[in-house]
Structures are given as structure tokens and as C-alpha cells.
């Protein structure tokens, strides 16, 4: 298995499936840049600290997370994956979230130096009851 794919799979297993926040720093050194989580697509989170805060925020909303890596393509020092994320909702016992996202990573010397994400936050927030499910169809004139 190419190193970028191995790193990506280990990241999702340790950080999300095992909910191990201490593993984040192992994958993201302080010089790493992560895009696609903050509202501004050009704004990077630097190092592991901001991602640790993001991780903690998600785990306040959900428990028993499962990040299923459905597909990975690796070439050279890069890998891109499609991931299905499922978890129990903390505020709604018996209900789950279930959405997909894509994650790209550039790996050097066994760590992620840059990551870019495309996350379906709309579905996630609707499932949590924190966004109007009709907002997107209304905005597009479909309803």
C-alpha cells in the first residue's frame, strides 16, 4: 500500500473510528495546512491544534463515529479518499448522522503536510436538526 494511502487510512481509523484526539498531532505537524473545514475555502488551519478543536466540537455533537474509507486513489506523495461518516447523535438518542466527504492529502516523511476537504456539512447539520432541510432547495428555486 502506498504511504499516502496508508497514512490516510490510519488517520481515519485512529482519529475518528477510535476517537483518539491524541493521534492528531502524529499526523499533522505544526507546519501542516488543512483546508475545507473553515468557512473560507482559502483559509488554512495550521498544525494540529485547530483540528483538535474541530474534532472535539464534532464529538460533542456525535458519539460512536465510524469513518468508512470507501475509496482511495494514491499517486506519488498524494492520496484522495471518499469517506462515509456515520455516528450516533448525542442530542437525539437512537438517531444517527450519515454523510460523505472527500479528503485529499499530500504526505512527506510520514506526516500530512497539506490536506484539502470537501465535506457535506449541509447534510450533517440538517440531520442534527441545526439547519433547515428546505434551505438549499429554496435557494436554488427548486421548491
Residue 65 has pLDDT above 90, yes or no: yes
CB contact set of 27 (below 8 Å; sequence gap of 6+): 7, 10, 11, 14, 15, 48, 111, 112
Residue 123 has pLDDT above 90, yes or no: yes
pLDDT in tens, 77-111: 999 999 999 999 999 999 999 999 999 999 999 99
A 10 A CB-CB count for 142 gives 8
Round the average pLDDT of the chain to a whole number and report it. 96
Q: State the CATH class of domain 3-139.
A: alpha beta
Nearest-angstrom CA–CA distance, 39 and 142: 25
pTM score? 0.92
Domain spans of the chain, in order of start = 3-139
Amino acid at each position: 500500500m502506498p504511504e499516502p494511502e496508508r497514512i490516510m487510512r490510519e488517520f481515519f481509523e485512529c482519529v475518528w473510528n477510535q476517537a483518539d484526539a491524541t493521534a492528531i498531532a502524529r499526523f499533522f505537524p505544526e507546519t501542516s495546512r488543512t483546508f475545507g473545514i473553515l468557512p473560507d475555502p482559502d483559509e488554512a488551519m495550521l498544525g494540529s491544534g485547530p483540528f483538535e478543536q474541530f474534532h472535539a466540537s464534532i464529538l460533542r455533537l456525535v458519539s460512536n463515529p465510524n469513518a468508512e474509507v470507501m475509496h482511495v486513489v494514491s499517486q506519488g506523495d498524494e492520496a484522495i479518499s471518499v469517506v462515509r461518516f456515520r455516528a450516533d447523535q448525542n442530542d437525539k438518542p437512537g438517531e444517527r448522522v450519515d454523510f460523505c466527504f472527500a479528503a485529499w492529502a499530500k504526505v512527506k516523511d510520514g506526516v500530512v503536510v497539506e490536506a484539502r476537504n470537501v465535506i457535506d456539512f449541509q447534510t450533517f447539520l440538517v440531520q442534527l436538526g441545526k439547519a433547515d432541510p428546505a434551505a438549499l432547495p429554496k435557494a436554488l428555486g427548486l421548491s
